């Protein structure tokens, strides 16, 4: 089937960039992204391209090129469903915060609502594509909802998980390592649906990189990929603690092991811990799935990746307290970075949030500067934890407009995100304005130790034993 009209439900970090790139690469396909969040859609439609809801290098240019041509943003979900031949579901699938599976299982209520809305609106046959990350076998639940409308409309369900990483989304979408499409292998209709999605991607991606599998392999591969990636970070972070005790340097260890082609060099940067909306959520989901099949050893194995990550964040804040003479009460600490990684304004599950919460519990006074994260987001992140009342958060933590303001008169600077620009700051100026002794806690290993020590800082770099 030659697809001419696509709808994507969910205009978030995945729906926005993914569909913008499809619109750019397939000028003959009309792509409509819909969302129930009116403010988000208004921001996507705004002419202030600096304030799109998602900041990604290169994205604003693509939206400029395609919006109004073959890319449209709308709140009219029903109309877009009705008109489309292929509907991507790209809504959020957070960890459940209530009921059975609370704190572990994926909350699929938004997915189910989409399926029910599609079932209600569709008058012609449709291909429904799972773009969200879902527990293995979700497609059967979606199918069951869609197949019980009684109106004769036929649906094909595909799984097409997204592997983009934030901060590099556009490059990842233009030049993906692979695209994965799972479909019903038992029927001709299923395979035809798979082919129609393959044809869309092969407009710009070599066919050999478009992998087709059965539905369950595709769904499970997404959880597996995130679990493996997060496991690498927890593994190197575990080694970072041993490095600090033994005089080894984790960056040297990473390089040494990464040159083994069986291990590979990527994703071996020790850090204050991984963040982002997905690693923790997807591993918890995997653990829940394993437990639900009675696979307790498998569940425990993967859970350890999260336990290690929590430990890494806690030991970073513990080290700050210990180094500042066992108390940070009333002391000023600057945070450089709040986003969960560089080149994004996303703060979901950012390690900065946990580290800040721990230090605020110790009555520290924190001043934050992040090049892309807005003040209200930072307060909202803290309020979500419910650790103290919102007014207290605002009294103890302030958000500054630049790095020099944030670092002025503080006892210590903590680096929580690896923004490249941090390396270019005038560190002598920062040192001059700080309380002495002046401490830096580099949770991302971005600064030069010799330079910092020459200036006069007492400098701690994660994973460095000297």
Q: How far apart are CA 248 and CA 259, in angstroms?
A: 18
Binding of ligand UGA by 275 (CB under 6 A) = yes
Binding of ligand NAD by 13 (CB under 6 A) = yes
Question: In this structure, what token pair is assigned to residue 248?
Answer: 């080894």
Beta strands in 197-295 (DSSP E): 210-214
Q: Specify whether 278 is catalytic.
A: yes
CA proximity to 58, closest of 163, 205, 164, 168? 168
182 appears as a binding residue in the annotation:
no
Specify the residue, 355 or 365, whose C-beta has the smaller distance to ligand UGA: 355
What is the nearest approach in angstroms of ligand UGA to the Cβ of residue 458?
24
In the list ligand NAD, ligand UGA, none, the entry touching 10 (Cβ below 5 to 8 angstroms by class) is: ligand NAD
Number of neighbouring beta carbons within 10 Å of residue 397: 21
Among the listed residues 10, 135, 276, 371, the single contact to ligand UGA using CB under 6 A: 276
Helix axes 215-246, 279-292, angle to 10 degrees: 120
The burial class, CB within 10 Å (0-12 / 13-18 / 19+), for 287 is buried
Among the listed residues 8, 9, 253, 356, the single contact to ligand NAD using CB under 6 A: 9
The DSSP output letter for 59 is H
Number of neighbouring beta carbons within 10 Å of residue 66: 21
Binding of ligand UGA by 278 (CB under 6 A) = yes
In the list ligand UGA, ligand NAD, none, the entry touching 15 (Cβ below 5 to 8 angstroms by class) is: ligand NAD
Phi, psi at 440, each rounded to 5°: -120, 130
In the list ligand UGA, ligand NAD, none, the entry touching 115 (Cβ below 5 to 8 angstroms by class) is: none
241-270 residues near ligand UGA, rule: CB under 6 A:
267-269
Whether residue 79 is preceded by a cis peptide bond, meaning omega within 30 degrees of 0, is: no
Query: CA–CA distance from 145 to each of 108, 245, 333, 445 (Å)?
Result: 13, 55, 52, 49
Residue 147-166 contact track with ligand NAD, rule CB under 6 A, x = bound: ---------------x-x-x
Considering the candidates 7, 114, 243, 278, report the single residue annotated as catalytic: 278
273-292 residues near ligand NAD, rule: CB under 6 A:
277-278
Among the listed residues 163, 379, 404, 425, the single contact to ligand UGA using CB under 6 A: 163
The DSSP output letter for 179 is E
The burial class, CB within 10 Å (0-12 / 13-18 / 19+), for 414 is buried
Cα dihedral sign for 455, 456, 462, 463?
Answer: positive
Binding of ligand UGA by 234 (CB under 6 A) = no
Residue 98-117 contact track with ligand NAD, rule CB under 6 A, x = bound: ------------x--xx---
In the list ligand NAD, ligand UGA, none, the entry touching 353 (Cβ below 5 to 8 angstroms by class) is: none
Among the listed residues 113, 165, 298, 455, the single contact to ligand UGA using CB under 6 A: 165
Number of neighbouring beta carbons within 10 Å of residue 420: 10
69 appears as a binding residue in the annotation:
no
Binding of ligand UGA by 274 (CB under 6 A) = yes
Question: In this structure, what token pair is assigned to residue 287?
Answer: 């653990």
Specify the residue, 183 or 445, whose C-beta has the smaller distance to ligand UGA: 445
Specify the residue, 161 or 445, whose C-beta has the smaller distance to ligand NAD: 161
Binding of ligand NAD by 339 (CB under 6 A) = no
CA proximity to 16, closest of 139, 43, 25, 5? 43
Q: DSSP per residue over 370-383, as a string?
A: -SS--HHHHHHHHH
CA proximity to 410, closest of 453, 441, 379? 441
Residues labelled catalytic? 278
Please report, in range form, the residues annotated as the binding site for NAD(+): 10-15, 35, 40, 91-95, 132-133, 166, 278-281, 348
- Residues that bind ligand NAD in the complex, under the rule CB under 6 A: 9-15, 34-37, 40, 77, 90-93, 110, 113-114, 132-133, 162, 164, 166, 277-278
- Residues that bind ligand UGA in the complex, under the rule CB under 6 A: 133, 162-166, 226, 229, 233, 267-269, 271, 274-276, 278-279, 340-341
């Amino acid at each position: 089937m030659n697809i001419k009209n696509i709808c994507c439900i969910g205009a978030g970090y995945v729906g926005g960039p993914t569909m913008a790139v499809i619109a750019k690469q397939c000028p003959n396909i009309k792509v409509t992204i819909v969302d129930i969040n009116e403010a988000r859609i208004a921001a996507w439609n705004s002419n202030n391209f600096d304030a799109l809801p998602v900041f990604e290098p290169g994205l604003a240019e693509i939206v400029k090129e395609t919006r109004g041509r073959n890319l449209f943003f709308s709140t009219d979900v029903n109309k877009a469903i009705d008109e489309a031949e292929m509907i991507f579901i790209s809504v959020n699938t957070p960890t459940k915060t209530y009921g059975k599976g609370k704190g572990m299982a994926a909350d699929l209520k938004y997915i189910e609502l989409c399926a029910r809305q599609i079932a209600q609106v569709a008058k012609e046959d449709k291909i429904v594509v799972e773009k969200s990350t879902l527990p293995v076998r979700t497609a059967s639940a979606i199918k069951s909802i869609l197949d019980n409308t009684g109106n004769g409309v036929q649906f094909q369900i595909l799984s097409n998980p997204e592997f983009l990483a934030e901060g590099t989304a556009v490059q990842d979408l233009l030049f993906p390592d692979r695209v994965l499409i799972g479909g019903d292998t038992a029927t001709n209709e299923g395979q035809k649906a798979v082919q129609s999605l393959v044809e869309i991607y092969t407009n710009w991606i070599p066919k050999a990189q478009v992998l087709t599998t059965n539905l369950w392999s595709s769904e499970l591969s997404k959880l597996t990929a995130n679990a493996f990636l997060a496991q690498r970070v927890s593994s190197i972070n575990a080694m970072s603690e041993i490095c600090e005790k033994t005089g080894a340097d984790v960056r040297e260890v990473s390089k040494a092991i990464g040159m083994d082609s069986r291990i590979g060099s990527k994703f071996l940067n020790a850090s204050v811990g991984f963040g982002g909306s997905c690693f923790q959520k997807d591993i918890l989901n995997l653990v829940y799935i394993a437990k639900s099949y009675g696979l307790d050893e498998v569940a425990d194995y993967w859970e350890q990746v999260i336990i290690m990550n929590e430990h890494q964040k806690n030991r970073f804040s513990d080290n700050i307290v210990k180094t500042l003479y066992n108390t940070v009460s009333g002391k000023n600490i600057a945070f450089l970075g709040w986003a969960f990684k560089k080149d994004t304004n996303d703060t979901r599950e950012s390690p900065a949030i946990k580290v800040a919460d721990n230090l605020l519990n110790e009555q520290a006074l924190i001043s934050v500067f992040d090049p892309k994260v807005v003040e209200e987001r930072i307060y909202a992140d803290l309020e979500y934890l419910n650790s103290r009342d919102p007014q207290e958060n605002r009294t103890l933590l302030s958000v500054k407009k630049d790095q020099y303001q944030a670092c002025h008169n503080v006892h210590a600077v903590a680096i929580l995100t690896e923004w490249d620009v941090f390396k270019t700051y005038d560190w002598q100026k920062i040192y001059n304005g700080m309380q002495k002794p002046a401490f830096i806690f580099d949770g991302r290993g971005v600064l030069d130790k010799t330079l910092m020590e020459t200036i006069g800082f007492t400098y701690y770099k994660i994973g460095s034993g000297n």
